[in-house]
Structure 1
Amino acid sequence: MMMSKWVLGLLSMVLVTFSSVQAQSFEEGVHYEVIADDKTSKPEIVEFFSFYCVHCYRFEPIAKAIKQAHPDAFEKAHVSFISPRGDIGETMTKAFAAAQRLDAEEKISASIFDYNFNKNSMLTSKQDIRNVFIVNDISGDEFDKAMASFSIRAAASKMDRRASSLGVNATPTFIVNGKYKMLPQGFRDSDDFVADFTELAGYLVEK
């Protein structure tokens, strides 16, 4: 009995020490950057992205891993400043807001990325984007009504204002609790980038 208590005590000390080491393995300026004095009132991990950003496309498995680990905190916000032609970036941000409103975010997102970077058929007009919704079982009328609604325009504008207020000027950018910017370049030597980056998100959520 005494031996069991001793072993359990030793194990607890090891676990506490290990946890401390893990927490200290993330360094400010290397793995994350502090961009604000205050944090949000509730936990949030926001990926600012663009459907016209190939790096965002490649980061999709990482974004999904973070969402799976933190489903209540994770969200995506499209930005308009990446635009291959005219104001199509703004149109795409509204389309993303529309997809969210129509409960079709995942399938529409996957389809748009597929067109832009797998099929080499970049969507550069509102009609192109409308057709993607139609082939994903959302009628043209539904798309038109959503795109014309005040609530969708407001949601898209909010995404852009939020990105601007946080100094987002490149994609993908992951910001935690409105205070911490995650730095992918800090994991150049990682043996498992997805796991390490996801762990960083969890660490910053609790920080």
Structure 2
Amino acid sequence: MKAMKQCCVVLLLALVSSSGWAFSLERYVEGVHYQKVEGGQPQPKTVVEFFSFGCPHCYELEPKVEAWVKSKPEAVSFSRVPATWNQKFAVLGKLYYVIEALGIEEKAVPAVFEYLHKQNKTITSREDAQTLLTGLGVTPEVFNKAWNDPQVETNANTAGRIFAANQIRGVPAVVVNGQYQTSVSMAGSPEDLFEVVNFLLSK
């Protein structure tokens, strides 16, 4: 009888342990912390942030994005897609692709956010964009070449289709491995967002 009780206790502990392990593996739940992208094509080890320089929530999230990018595994690819929903966002979206083409994201991305949200200035035209980048050391010749680059134009024109394909309806949002979408509101907080991102990278 005593041996049977001991066996039952061991079995119960095993079940509790197994249940706890399963819970830890699925700490984040589909439909709550993230959702699947319908028709999303698998792109392993990729993280894409959908954002806009003009979005105050994206500005608030940016320090967390920068910290995560610096700590992410080297095998994980990070990229951004800017919103181009209206004329103002379209200019800011093209500005992002100019910055990307020039390879000055590390310096220019935080500078643009600060310019718009801390200094309360505006960027609504090509001239505004050029003024900002000139202040960061980009010559007018280099700026004009990048602004007129066919690849920059193509990227800016196709950003909206990428948003639609990933079912993005607000920014900031993040798509992981081409199949899972999450956001600050779904994750619960900016800190939790990148915990969810790391979780989804392992799926």
The interval holding the TM-score normalised by the smaller chain is 0.7 to 0.9
Aligned equivalent of 1:57 = 59
The separation in 2 between residues aligned to 1:139 and 1:40, in whole angstroms, is 40
- Give the drift of 1:42: 2.8
Aligned equivalent of 1:157 = 157
Q: Does 1:75 align with 2:84?
A: no
Partners of 2:91 and 2:124 within 8 A in 1: no
- Give the drift of 1:106: 2.1
What amino acid maps onto 1:102 in structure 2?
L
Aligned equivalent of 1:44 = 46
Q: Percent identity between the aligned chains?
A: 24
- Give the drift of 1:175: 1.0
Cα deviation, 1:100-154, whole Å, max 9, x if unaligned, reads 1111112111111111100111222221111111011111111111111211111
The separation in 1 between residues aligned to 2:19 and 2:64, in whole angstroms, is 28
- Give the drift of 1:96: 0.8
Partners of 2:54 and 2:92 within 8 A in 1: no
Q: 1:111-190, aligned counterparts within 5 Å?
A: 111-188=111-188
Structure 1 residue runs of 5 or longer lacking an equivalent are: 1-14
Aligned equivalent of 1:28 = 30
Cα deviation, 1:47-91, whole Å, max 9, x if unaligned, reads 10001100000010221233232453221111111x4xxx23222
Larger radius of gyration: 2
Q: Does 1:200 align with 2:202?
A: no
Aligned equivalent of 2:90 = 90
Aligned equivalent of 2:11 = none
Aligned length, in residue pairs: 185
Is the deviation greater in 50-59 or in 89-98?
89-98
The separation in 2 between residues aligned to 1:139 and 1:59, in whole angstroms, is 30
Aligned equivalent of 1:99 = 99
Partners of 1:79 and 1:89 within 8 A in 2: yes
Alpha carbons of 1:139 and 1:19: their partners in 2 closer, same or farther (altered >3 Å)? farther
TM-score scaled by length of structure 2: 0.81
Q: SS state of the match for residue 52, structure 1?
A: coil
What amino acid maps onto 2:198 in structure 1?
G
Cα RMSD between the aligned structures? 2.2
Q: SS state of the match for residue 36, structure 1?
A: coil
Partners of 1:46 and 1:74 within 8 A in 2: yes
Structure 2 residue runs of 5 or longer lacking an equivalent are: 1-16
Alpha carbons of 1:132 and 1:36: their partners in 2 closer, same or farther (altered >3 Å)? same
Is the deviation greater in 23-32 or in 156-165?
156-165
The separation in 1 between residues aligned to 2:91 and 2:123, in whole angstroms, is 11
What amino acid maps onto 1:197 in structure 2?
L
- Give the drift of 1:92: 1.9
